[in-house]
Structure 1
Amino acid sequence: MSWYQKHTKADLAARIAELEAEAERLREALAPSGDTKADYIGEIIDPDTRKTVSWSAIKMIMAMISARAALNKDTTP
């Protein structure tokens, strides 16, 4: 008996909703809003130069974190 045969339509609908919410969270993490960018740009400073880190550097760091999180199924938001 498959997983789908063991569950009701309500179970499947709930699971679809969970997966859609997770997909939306991941999309948002990969495409941050203007507010998110503004929050990060002023807060991250290179400790060696005392200069603000560029958005492109922050985006690259976030992409690396996202890639690593995708490998770890226990990661929570």
Structure 2
Amino acid sequence: MVMKKAITLVLIILILFSSFPTQSNAMSDSQSAAIQTLLNDACRISGVPGMSISILDEDDVFFFSSGYENLEKGIP
């Protein structure tokens, strides 16, 4: 159930990203912030200690992460 919620939220991120109108390949600060917020929410709601996504757009790669690299040590 937890994984299903996380997958659903990541799919929402991807759908939102694809609907943002852009003039260039660069991602705006507001787009980046919206994706990061959704990823943070996905971590919190699903209970997954950490997750990351990469979005490929032609020659650009956008990387987002949330949560912990090491939960026991508290390393973000």
- Measured against the shorter chain, the TM-score band is 0.3 to 0.5
Q: TM-score by structure 1 length?
A: 0.32
Q: TM-score by structure 2 length?
A: 0.33
Mark the structure with the bigger radius of gyration: 1
Relative to its length, the structure with more helix (as a share) is 1
Relative to its length, the structure with more strand (as a share) is 2
